[in-house]
Structure 1
Amino acid sequence: MKKLFLLSLSFLLFGCKSFLINKALEKVGVYDDEVKIKIISNANKKIVFIPMKHIGTESFYDDVRAKIDSLDKQNHFFFYELVTGEEDSITSKKFRKISGLPENDKGYLEILDSVFKKIKYKKKLIDQPKDQMELGFNKNKSKNVDVTLQQIIAHYEAENGEIVLEKCDYDTPINKMSKCSNVKLDKKKLDKSILDFRNEKIVREIYLNTSENLVIVYGENHYSGILKILQERDSTWTEIK
């Protein structure tokens, strides 16, 4: 999801002005040509985690496709990431209020280019395919296990109280940065709703699914949280790669 990716990227890039842009992109793995999978298991299930990036090299996405194809032939079942939800301007404005990010249908790379004008990237970069099926998922053996944007906002408000929109929020088009001033962003509160809440949903789906061999194709920031929840439920969950 664009909003969530750009949120995590912005904290890294803007949080330390001394970092050169290419060094920052390299640090988060944007220039990797291969995906580094992780494998965890307990007595009943094995899970392959494929950490995705929303901007990367063409070789990276080719490698993801190759690994998905190989695991599909080994009869794995796939979970993939896709925050959905019906178009709702209030929900979108509330998300912008807590994240600072406007709604944008442009590709990730185009948005990055608009922020860092005239930057010469270390390698040629492309956007992650918008259609998850372009990564090679078998429709009969894959499932979107993500939440909706409405559910994220409902969770945030249940934890922190109602997100109150101001006149400046309503007056600013949803695809523009809000003109509201003195808005303080709280990354810890956001992470509880955009990471922890979604990780809990993934873990529930893991236990509901009858397959012994699962593949989770999600943003890499989800991995540690998923493993933590699994180990809290069952201490025999172990990293084997």
Structure 2
Amino acid sequence: MKTETDPALLPRAILTDGDKTVVFQGMMHVGSERFYKQIVYDAEAALADGYVLYYEGVQPNPEGDAWFSENLAGGGDLATNYKMLGDLCGLQFQLDYFGLLDEDRKVRPESHVTADVDTLRMKEEFDRLMVNDPEFAAGYRPEEQEEDGADAGIAAGIAALDGMTAGQKKLSGYVCRFMMSNAAKGGGEARQIDKVVLDFRNRELVQRILADPHDKIYITYGSNHLKGVLALLQDADAAWRVESVSWIRPLEAPEHLEAEL
């Protein structure tokens, strides 16, 4: 019930420096079908209006994949884990819906940009911090990733599903969506690993934005990147500002209606 009465909201912020416009759509890896359909609709409209789409998604690299899996994906494949989490929560996985843009991607590949770093770049930043940042080296705990609201207990939850009745599965979905809603609202304590998964990737994203010759960019990235990205843009040029912000609800219980004829 808390998810319905006090729902999580994700921002859609329009940023501009007067010459370039960036639409930053905050995202979650798993959410409701209605949320993702709205995002795809907005992305299609942005493409028609001449925007370039930037997608989040750490890219594979043979030299960094094993490190990434062990340190940031709970020893498995991150996409697979999120799909499992979606099944547990009665929610959808975002990449299943971005596939609706594949036809446009084939026609205009230059308008679809995976703007993220790869696993090796993240490993290199991690290694650099372990050597040069005493606070990071002293405070980093490998298990802290498992405490993240989106990843906690995925494997245990999936295993438990096999023995659940339909009623138990429905109840677990309520609990899971409540936990996901709290995670989406943020506000948790900062973790040392955020220097890699947030700060480093924010710097790389902002460098790409500033170097991009296009004057209209539509970004779909985790909402917890927005504040850092805006701050870095303003550090580069004080003219950057928030032109407007609207909000969208990413989590809703699956609709189930009953009636009699």
Same fold (TM over 0.5): yes
Equivalences for residues 1-241 of structure 1 within 5 A: 23=2, 29=8, 36-87=11-62, 91-95=64-68, 98-99=71-72, 101-104=74-77, 106-111=80-85, 124-130=90-96, 132-135=98-101, 138=105, 139-161=109-131, 185=144, 188-241=191-244
Please state whether the residue corresponding to 1:146 is helix, strand or coil.
coil
Q: Distance in 2 between matches of 1:108 and 1:126?
A: 9
% identical equivalent positions: 22
Find the counterpart in structure 2 of residue 4 from structure 1.
none
Q: Structure 2 vs 1, CA of residues 44 and 95 (structure 1 numbering), >3 Å: closer, same or farther? A: same
Tell me if the contact between 2:36 and 2:97 (Cα under 8 Å) persists in the aligned partners.
Answer: no
Q: Which has the higher helix share?
A: 2
Q: Distance in 1 between matches of 2:41 and 2:222?
A: 18
Deviations 1:86-127 (A, max 9, x none): 345xx45534554472213525142466xxxxx7x5xx4111
Q: Distance in 1 between matches of 2:110 and 2:241?
A: 28
What value does the CA root-mean-square deviation take over the aligned residues? 3.1
Tell me if the contact between 1:230 and 1:237 (Cα under 8 Å) persists in the aligned partners.
Answer: yes
Structure 1 residue ranges without an equivalent (≥5): 1-21, 114-118, 163-181
Q: CA deviation at 1:144?
A: 1.0
The two structures have a TM-score, normalised by structure 2, of 0.62
Q: Which has the higher contact order (CA 8 A, sep 6+)?
A: 2
Structure 2 residue ranges without an equivalent (≥5): 133-140, 146-189, 245-261
Please state whether the residue corresponding to 1:37 is helix, strand or coil.
strand
Q: Structure 2 vs 1, CA of residues 50 and 149 (structure 1 numbering), >3 Å: closer, same or farther? A: same
Deviations 1:37-86 (A, max 9, x none): 11010122111011121111110011001100111111111111121123
Please state whether the residue corresponding to 1:161 is helix, strand or coil.
helix
Q: Structure 2 vs 1, CA of residues 27 and 98 (structure 1 numbering), >3 Å: closer, same or farther? A: farther
Q: CA deviation at 1:154?
A: 0.8
Q: Distance in 2 between matches of 1:216 and 1:126?
A: 20
Please state whether the residue corresponding to 1:143 is helix, strand or coil.
strand
Q: Distance in 1 between matches of 2:4 and 2:127?
A: 32
Paired residues, number: 187
Tell me if the contact between 1:92 and 1:103 (Cα under 8 Å) persists in the aligned partners.
Answer: no
Find the counterpart in structure 2 of residue 116 from structure 1.
none
Tell me if the contact between 1:78 and 1:141 (Cα under 8 Å) persists in the aligned partners.
Answer: yes
Q: Distance in 1 between matches of 2:72 and 2:5?
A: 24
Q: Structure 2 vs 1, CA of residues 103 and 71 (structure 1 numbering), >3 Å: closer, same or farther? A: same
Q: Structure 2 vs 1, CA of residues 129 and 236 (structure 1 numbering), >3 Å: closer, same or farther? A: same
